[in-house]
Amino acid sequence: MRLRIRDVREDKDLRQRQLAQYLNCRQQTYSRYETGVVEPPLEVMEQLALYYNTSVDYLMGLTDEKTPYARKQK
């Protein structure tokens, strides 16, 4: 499965190092997520979706809708 995390990062003119710092991981680890060598954990995908204000489905390429889903009220 090809993730969109690289495309979204580049659209925002961000560096891998910046995202790695946000995710509290090494730049090499984040690079492996982007290249598909390592599948990012669901927690990482959730953090990225929140960071980019989109959905995990969009980042995973399951939808072309960038707008995140409405959150349920607790």
pLDDT for residue 50: 94
Q: What pTM was estimated for this model as a whole?
A: 0.88
Instruction: State in Å, rounded, how far the first CA of the chain is from the last one.
Output: 33
Interval 3-62: pLDDT, tens: 999 999 999 999 999 999 999 999 999 999 999 999 999 999 999 999 999 999 999 999
Q: Hunting for tokens 């598909």 — which residue is that?
A: 36
| Beta-carbon count within 10 A of 33 CB | 23
Spell out the domains of the chain, with CATH numbers in brackets. Answer: 5-60 (1.10.260.40)
